[in-house]
Amino acid sequence: MASFRRRASATSDWGNYATTTTTTTTTTMSSTTTMRTPRRGEVTSARRREGDRAPVGWRHALARGVAVAGALAVGAYVYAQSVAEGRYLTTTSDQPLVTREREFLAREDFERVRACALQHPLLRVKGELNEDSFGKTRGFVLKFNEDGVAQFQSDSAYECFAPVFDRLRVPLTNAFVMNLLLCELGDYDEYDANGLAVGVHLDDTVGVSSKHSFIAHQVSVLYLSVPKDMEGGQLDLFSYGDGATPGDGDPEEVVVPEENLMATFRGDAFHRVRSYRARSRTERVSLVLEQYFIDDRHYGKTKRFVASLKSNMTTVV
């Protein structure tokens, strides 16, 4: 059975795998798998996805025996392929789409974290995040797992962010992505209220080397710098629904940034950030933490501690 690596519960086992959507045709295949969040000390039987087989019917069977054998063989192959290219979800029904907490940090603590972020030498580097969605952003990206937490907390370049991580950490999560995100400020007169600073996307940047993607369990955004005269810049959120990327419709929730506001949302929420402008030329900066549940089968493929500095340069510490 697969278990989560976590100091508080090193023997806690992964809950059941449950394939919620699997569509297979001769030309297209898609899959979404929901994994139940483990409970502390709980031991359950893990039903491996490859143990399930989706039968495939043959319209033109040459013979009954050949058809049965062929259906089983191709069915297993197609199922494995569709699962391999699908998404792992660990969010639960009791997680709200988004919560907001104003004055998240005590004023002195907030000013310390804010100063660290705004003076950070890696704030303005071009990050490794997806260029299509994050082309107008800058800032470092850290990827680390349970075994790399202590290294993150003690690294002189990032230790100022450790108190935020410690307060936000969800029990049993074992892989993390932290991003210091600066949304670039464009020309004031060219501002487009319908434009996007960050395109619509799901957070799946944990860095597991696999054909399928692992979606964050929870994402938290702490706003560190918000122009007082900002127009735009809202965070738009959409429920996962059937997994299709939402179009240009109205979001279900809108977060209006303000300094020291913590917005925490479901990891499977599609989201985007609106373009903004400010005559003050103050830039919008936030600290983002993605948290993941990764089972033992894939944990070894996560990053122990990686600081991604530029799209073409990664420093492994």
Q: List, in order of start, the domains of the chain with CATH numbers.
A: 17-85 (no CATH), 98-316 (2.60.120.10)
The structure's pTM equals: 0.73
Q: What is the rounded CA–CA span in Å between residue 227 and residue 234?
A: 12
Residue 312 in tokens? 């073409």
- Length in residues, the chain: 317
Secondary structure string (H, E, C) spanning the chain: CCECCCCCCCCCECCCEEEEEEEECCCCEEEEEEECCCCCCCCCCCCCHHHCCCCCCCCCCCCHHHHHHHHHHHHHHHHHHHHHCCEEECCCCCCCCEEEECCCCCHHHHHHHHHHHHCCCCCCCCCCCCHHHHCCEECCEEEEEHHHHHHHHHCCCCHHHHHHHHHHCCCCCCEEEEEEEEECCCCHHHCCCCCEEEEEECCCCCCCCCCCEECCCEEEEEEEECCCCCEECCEEEECCCCCCCCCCCCCCEEECCCCCCEEEEECCCEEEEECEECCCCCCEEEEEEEEECCCHHHHCCCCCEEEEEECCEEEEC
Q: What is the rounded CA–CA span in Å between residue 167 and residue 179?
A: 16
Q: What is the structure's pLDDT at 188?
A: 86
Q: What is the structure's pLDDT at 37?
A: 52
Q: What is the structure's pLDDT at 247?
A: 86
Q: Which residues neighbour 169 within 8 Å (Cβ) at sequence distance 6 or greater?
A: 291
Q: What is the structure's pLDDT at 73?
A: 41
Q: What is the structure's pLDDT at 259?
A: 98
CA neighbor of 259 nearest in space, from 47, 108, 102, 124: 102
Taking only the tens of pLDDT, the chain with its 317 residues reads 444 444 333 333 333 333 333 333 333 334 566 665 554 333 222 322 333 333 334 344 434 444 334 433 433 332 233 343 589 999 999 999 999 999 999 999 999 999 999 999 988 776 554 444 344 567 889 999 999 999 999 999 999 999 999 999 999 999 999 999 888 777 888 889 888 888 899 999 997 878 889 999 999 999 999 999 999 999 999 999 999 999 888 999 999 999 999 999 999 999 999 888 999 988 889 999 999 999 999 999 999 999 875 433 333 34
- Block residue for tokens 């629904």: 241
